[in-house]
Structure 1
Amino acid sequence: MTSADETPVRVGIFGLLGSGNLGNDGSLEAVLGYLRAEHPEAVLDALCGGPEAVTTRFGIPATRLHWYRGEYRTASRAGAIVAKGLGKLVDAVRTAAWVRRHDVVIVPGMGVLEATLPLRPWGFPYALFLLCASGRLFGTRVALVSVGAAPIGNRPTRALVRWSARLAAYRSYRDTPSRDAMRAMGVDTTRDEVYPDLTFSLPTLRASTPSGPPGPVGVGVMDFHGGNDDRARAEEIHRRYLDGTIGFVRALVEDGRPVRLLSGDEVDTPVVAAILDAVDSPLVTGAEAASLADLMKEMAAVDTVVATRYHNLICALKVGTPTLALTYAAKSDALMAQMGLGTYCHPAHEVDADRLLEQFRALEQRSAELRRTLTERNLVAVRQLQYQFSALDSALFPAADHAHTHAMREAP
């Protein structure tokens, strides 16, 4: 409890939250669960991509991340180009003012230090740099918690990401390759720890053990066009991914297996529609999940999962369903290895339906054994995240200086 003469600590949450990506919102949910349990007196708000959605679902005030609402649309007309440029200046002032009002800002999970999907330097990387620079300027502790990182080829993006990480007061990563990537980019990671993805701390529904004939298969799809360095081949990569996935789903249907198409972001909807159109069968249906909890329920209701999007994999692994990953970045391979399923990976850039079906059948033959392995690995992940939350308490909430720091900021 906060005594009468103390000002409650103000905690901000930052990121592309409320924008339709279920994984990002799951990371927010995990951090809010920790804060409400361990720091119920804290005053919470967010600077995020979808403030209305965040306020409606999570019950905290939220401010739009970018002043210019067309930030992530390509600017072709002169007016839009000028507005986008002006927005960069306005966002610098807005971000600094928002950061200054807080004692602590947390960036919950997400791949904020990577460019494994198409990304422009002056979008989110610039926003993250403004956050971390403002934190250093005003003495606000900025924490990058269980975030993802990866090698970045684009020089401006790499520079912004490197300086963001250097300026943060606390860093932890969701896998070892992420920490290695930041070290290779010139960040001192000596004190940085590796913990599981924050989603593993969420409540979950355990999958039931299948009995009887082979049951439904969950296929998690993604609007996949390759990474930031694949822009010239984006359509070719997408076509190959889609054709391979369609071929795999068609083979499952020919075996009489019901298929449930799953996604983790609003942008994946056209891929679900394309597969439903190509494989015209009552055995193939699409699921609509509004949260990671909904997605986990879907994952728990199938015998086996084959998925691409990172947080689809996490949901399936977390509920204990044997999973095969269509991997597009080191984070997916690292996650599968961490959970004891490193053998069951297939490249998303080169989906081969026949080879994928072969791997799928091998996975199902070991289903009972892999379910036991997942149960054990999930317990380990939960314990590791409990340890991280204790470490966060020590790093971010030194009780003695809360009231003093906040009073100084509010002084005229």
Structure 2
Amino acid sequence: MSAAVAGRPPRIAIFGLLGSGNLGNHGSLDAMLWFLRRDHPEADISCVCSGPETLERQYGIPATAMTWFQAYGPGRSRVTTIARKIFGKFADLVRMPLLLRRYDLIIVPGMGVLETTLELNPWGFPYAVFLMCLSARIVGAQVAFVSIGANFARERSIRYLFRNAARMATYRSYRDSYSRDALRQMGLDTSNDAVYPDLAFALPEPKEPESRDPRRTIGLGVMEYHGASTDRSRSDEIYTEYVGKIVEFARQVVDEGYRIRLVTGDPADEAVVTAISDDLRRTRPDLVDERLVREPADSLGELMEQLAGADLVVASRYHNVQSALRLSKPTISVSYAVKNDILMEGMRLAEFRQPIKDLDVTRLMDQLRALEARAGGLEAVMREKNAEYVEQLEQQFAVLSDRFFGAGRPVATGSDQ
């Protein structure tokens, strides 16, 4: 069924945790907007998201808050804030269908929309995405989950919301087989669902900088890591341990003559950046100014431009790792989820990873030296894989065009990566 309606352009809403500063989510949005504007410039595009004011300012497209509470904000006290949150859950039962009835198609572009790899409240985003899918069905709009990420939700309430949200979608594809298998394990029939690469692999590579610092540069991607939903009781302990180890790694990297370019993926990560900078200013005051670089990025494109000047990358956030791989940069993943490991395996870099919860700084330094020694050969393999990923995403764009826009382009099936 096509989203196009005779006599007017198709009206499309892009739905997700957008406008909140997460660069990875915005990278998925950038890729989807690139496809829509290239192949369907007639489409009328809006966003239903978590940060509408920020998104409108950055992208210049209309945006609406996905929930009543996000639209109207907290009260003046803790009690009134809780009351407004409760009221908002009921208000959204009416508000969401009224909001979505103006659209023909709601697209959820990539992102880990069905994941519990970080702390997650079932009445937050899981409830919002479920209510969106239910409301779309009520008003007759179509929903497309495009190259999304998922994992098996251990909490029964979240599992219920994820499974039934996905069941109501018109189209589903996943960024890896693990995500598709997770939905199957949660009770969804995924036999007709396809697997394609992460949408951000469709983003163009930035040009290499005209002049590069002659010193070896490490792109170091950090994150404010507190564990997953099941780690709530130890979240502060997990964070403190991670910061201590990543600070020690930065100190050793500087001592070995490397230059560090710090990168992040979310505003919350700035706390870790500050911890590294403060430590080096205290312990290596004569080196910090020439060997530590930090330039905030406002988009995944800007982050990729920064990483283009790095020789090697060590990162934790999924889209920090993905961006480095998109640039064919030899990379080590300090992985906080299986999705990181899948990225690395796809690029034939499985040996250059370790879990964030068991981070071993000595081993990380050994991996860094081994990575540098083999960089040339690894880059050639990564460039070849990137070309494959771009082609597979073009196939998915053809599928979307044929299914939702009646474009009649050649249709290809997904890849079972």
TM-score range, shorter chain: over 0.9
Residue 344 in 1 paired to residue 345 in 2? no
Residue 203 in 1 paired to residue 211 in 2? no
Q: Residue 5 of structure 1: CA displacement?
A: 6.3
SS in 1 for 2:84: helix
**Equivalent in the alignment of 1:379:** 387
| Aligned 8 A contact 1:214 1:303 in 2 | no
Counterpart residue identity of residue 343, structure 1: E
**Equivalent in the alignment of 1:24:** 25
| Aligned 8 A contact 1:174 1:196 in 2 | yes
| Aligned 8 A contact 2:74 2:80 in 1 | no
Q: Residue 38 of structure 1: CA displacement?
A: 1.2
1:142-201 deviations in Å (ceiling 9; x for gaps): 011000000111111111011101111111001111011111000100011111111111
Residue 334 in 1 paired to residue 335 in 2? no
Counterpart residue identity of residue 342, structure 2: A
Q: Distance in 1 between matches of 2:199 and 2:184?
A: 22
SS in 1 for 2:118: coil
SS in 1 for 2:70: coil
Q: Is the alpha carbon distance of 1:364 and 1:52 closer, same or farther for their aligned partners in structure 2, counting shifts above 3 Å?
A: same
Q: Distance in 2 between matches of 1:76 and 1:150?
A: 36
Instruction: Say how many residue pairs are matched.
Output: 399
Q: Distance in 2 between matches of 1:357 and 1:74?
A: 49
Q: Is the alpha carbon distance of 1:76 and 1:149 closer, same or farther for their aligned partners in structure 2, counting shifts above 3 Å?
A: farther
**Equivalent in the alignment of 1:156:** 157
Q: Distance in 2 between matches of 1:393 and 1:70?
A: 32
| Aligned 8 A contact 1:207 1:321 in 2 | no
**Equivalent in the alignment of 1:83:** 84
SS in 2 for 1:268: helix
Matches within 5 A, 1:208-287: 215-280=216-281, 281-282=288-289, 283-287=291-295
Q: Residue 209 of structure 1: CA displacement?
A: 12
Q: Is the alpha carbon distance of 1:210 and 1:352 closer, same or farther for their aligned partners in structure 2, counting shifts above 3 Å?
A: farther
**Equivalent in the alignment of 2:415:** none
Q: Residue 17 of structure 1: CA displacement?
A: 0.5
Identity %, equivalent residues: 46
RMSD of aligned residue pairs (Cα, Å): 2.4
**Equivalent in the alignment of 2:189:** 188
**Equivalent in the alignment of 2:103:** 102
SS in 2 for 1:68: helix
**Equivalent in the alignment of 1:177:** 178
**Equivalent in the alignment of 1:288:** 296
Q: Residue 141 of structure 1: CA displacement?
A: 0.9
Structure 1: where are the runs of 5+ without partners? 401-412
**Equivalent in the alignment of 1:299:** 307
Q: Residue 55 of structure 1: CA displacement?
A: 1.5
**What TM-score, normalized to structure 2?**
0.91
Matches within 5 A, 1:88-167: 88-167=89-168
**Equivalent in the alignment of 1:311:** 319
| Aligned 8 A contact 2:100 2:141 in 1 | yes
Residue 34 in 1 paired to residue 62 in 2? no
**Equivalent in the alignment of 1:168:** 169
Residue 356 in 1 paired to residue 364 in 2? yes
SS in 2 for 1:218: strand
| Aligned 8 A contact 2:23 2:266 in 1 | yes
Matches within 5 A, 1:58-77: 58-69=59-70, 77=78
Q: Distance in 2 between matches of 1:207 and 1:90?
A: 50
Q: Distance in 1 between matches of 2:25 and 2:364?
A: 28
Q: Is the alpha carbon distance of 1:357 and 1:224 closer, same or farther for their aligned partners in structure 2, counting shifts above 3 Å?
A: same
Q: Distance in 2 between matches of 1:310 and 1:387?
A: 24
Counterpart residue identity of residue 405, structure 2: F
**Equivalent in the alignment of 2:56:** 55
Q: Residue 207 of structure 1: CA displacement?
A: 4.9
SS in 1 for 2:201: helix
| Aligned 8 A contact 1:71 1:84 in 2 | no
SS in 1 for 2:151: coil
Q: Residue 211 of structure 1: CA displacement?
A: 10
Q: Is the alpha carbon distance of 1:330 and 1:73 closer, same or farther for their aligned partners in structure 2, counting shifts above 3 Å?
A: farther
SS in 2 for 1:279: helix
Q: Is the alpha carbon distance of 1:347 and 1:76 closer, same or farther for their aligned partners in structure 2, counting shifts above 3 Å?
A: farther
**Equivalent in the alignment of 1:409:** none
Q: Distance in 1 between matches of 2:215 and 2:350?
A: 23
Alignment partner for residue 367 of structure 1, among 344, 357, 375?
A: 375
Q: Distance in 2 between matches of 1:156 and 1:209?
A: 52
| Aligned 8 A contact 1:325 1:336 in 2 | yes
| Aligned 8 A contact 1:240 1:350 in 2 | no
Q: Distance in 1 between matches of 2:73 and 2:327?
A: 34
Counterpart residue identity of residue 372, structure 1: A
SS in 1 for 2:191: coil
**What TM-score, normalized to structure 1?**
0.92
Q: Distance in 1 between matches of 2:73 and 2:234?
A: 21
| Aligned 8 A contact 2:215 2:259 in 1 | no
Counterpart residue identity of residue 194, structure 1: V
SS in 1 for 2:261: strand
Counterpart residue identity of residue 348, structure 1: I
Q: Residue 218 of structure 1: CA displacement?
A: 0.8
Structure 2: where are the runs of 5+ without partners? 282-287, 409-417
Q: Distance in 2 between matches of 1:385 and 1:213?
A: 36
Q: Residue 398 of structure 1: CA displacement?
A: 3.7
Q: Is the alpha carbon distance of 1:12 and 1:302 closer, same or farther for their aligned partners in structure 2, counting shifts above 3 Å?
A: same
Counterpart residue identity of residue 121, structure 1: P
Per mean C-alpha deviation after superposition, the further-off stretch among 58-67 and 109-118 is 58-67
Q: Distance in 2 between matches of 1:61 and 1:367?
A: 44
Q: Distance in 2 between matches of 1:355 and 1:238?
A: 20
Q: Distance in 2 between matches of 1:73 and 1:222?
A: 27
Counterpart residue identity of residue 57, structure 1: Q
Q: Residue 74 of structure 1: CA displacement?
A: 12
